[in-house]
Structure formats: structure tokens, C-alpha cells
Amino acid sequence: MDPATHQPDQARPAGYHERLRTPRWWYLAAVGVAVLLGLEFAVAISGWVAWAPFALLLPGALLTVWRLSSGSVSVDGATLRAGERSVAVTEIEQAIDLSPTELRRLVGRHSDPLAFTYIRSWVGPGVQLVLRPPADPPQLGRQAPGEPADARQAPGEPADPPQDDPLPAERLPEPYWVVSTRHPDQLLAALQAAQAAGSRSR
């Protein structure tokens, strides 16, 4: 059989998917907290009604911990997804492995307010994804071409200094992403494979 027939399958990048689950002992801690709170009610209430708080607190505590584990990070084809956000791998200029200390520093006092962060404190390490700057970055405080001057200004009167008109936050480009992952090396490898596959398909 011609080996060339298998070349597309070999060039296909392997996907990556990670569920950012909470530690298992969190479920035991949630049960303990629910039991302690239920006992507080049981001391003050007599009869079968004393068991009602347990019926509400135990499922609620377990559901809260399970909901915290619903976050995920994945590389599917040419797209990286972090939670409900996504970015094309071709828009990622550089990917940097972050230790837990470096991640905390990057999202703390040294963080950029425009950066997108998808972190989970119980995960630890992560990656920084530096995005490519837009080809036509937005300009702040400039008059659009052909925009008429203020009609209230009298002829010959000196023009008022331009006023900065800040753009809404959703229109400003994000400089980078910070994403939690327990396996930074695997995520970086999946990104490199996806970028290499995209460059070969052009």
C-alpha cells in the first residue's frame, strides 16, 4: 500500500481536552460542612423537621463542588477553547509555560486589565497565550476622516482641543490570555501541532 495515502492522517493534529476538576477531597469537605450546618438546625428544631436541612444542604453542597469542576480547556482543530471563550490558534503568537508562582504573579499585581484570564486556583500551573496584535488597531481620541467640525464653533474661532473618546472594553484588543491547566506541556504540544497543520494547509 502506498505510504502517501496515509500522510493526511499522520498530519492530522491530535486534539486536547482537559476538565479542570476540583480535588476529590473537596466533596468530603462539602459533606462535612453540610452536616455541621444541618446539626445547627437539628439542635434548635425537634421532630422530623430537623432532617429537612440535611436534605437541602447535602445535595446543595455536592452540586456546588461539581459545578466548580465544569470548566474545561481544549484544542479542537484550529481553535483553542477556554470555558465559553475561543480563539483561533493562528492568532496565538507565543505560548509560555507558567509555574503556579508565575501564574499568580501574572494575574496579580502585574496583570493587564485587558487580558483574558481563565484560571482555577486549585489547578496550579497554566500557560500564557500572547495574541498577535490586530492589523488595524483602534485609535483613541481621533476625529474620523470627513467628520464635520462642531457647528456651534464660530468662523475664525480657535478649535477646541481634541477630547479622548475611550472605546468600550469589548472593542479593545486583548494582549494575552492566561489559562489554567494541569498539563502545560501537553497543551503547548497540541497548540504547536495545530499551528503546524494550519500552516501546511495554506
Q: Is the pLDDT of residue 114 over 70?
A: yes
Domains and CATH numbers, the chain: 11-135+172-201 (2.30.29)
Q: Which residue has the higher pLDDT, 202 or 77?
A: 77
Q: State whether residue 86 is helix, strand or coil.
A: strand
Q: What is the pLDDT of residues 16-50, one digit of tens each?
A: 999 999 999 999 999 999 999 988 888 877 777 77
97 strand-pairing partners: 127
Which three cell numbers, joined as nine digits, stand for 55? Answer: 436534605
- Residue 136: pLDDT band with limits 50, 70, 90: low
Average pLDDT over residues 110-128: 91
Q: What is the pLDDT of residues 185-201, one digit of tens each?
A: 999 999 999 988 877 76
Q: Which residue has the higher pLDDT, 110 or 5?
A: 110
Distance CA 12, CA 194 (A): 8
pTM value surpassing 0.75 = no
Is 57:112 a contact under the CB 8 Å cutoff? no
Phi, psi of 165, deg, nearest 5 = -120, 90
Please tell me the predicted confidence (pLDDT) of residue 186: 94
φ/ψ bin of 188: left (φ > 0), alpha (ψ from -120 to 50), beta (otherwise): alpha
Is 118:177 a contact under the CB 8 Å cutoff? yes
The counts of H helices and E strands in the chain are 5, 8
Is 10:72 a contact under the CB 8 Å cutoff? no
User: Between the ranges 48-57, 141-150, 180-189, where is the mean pLDDT highest?
Assistant: 180-189
Please tell me the predicted confidence (pLDDT) of residue 44: 77
Q: How many CA atoms lie within 13 A of 175 on its CB side?
A: 6
Average pLDDT over residues 75-92: 92
Please tell me the predicted confidence (pLDDT) of residue 7: 42
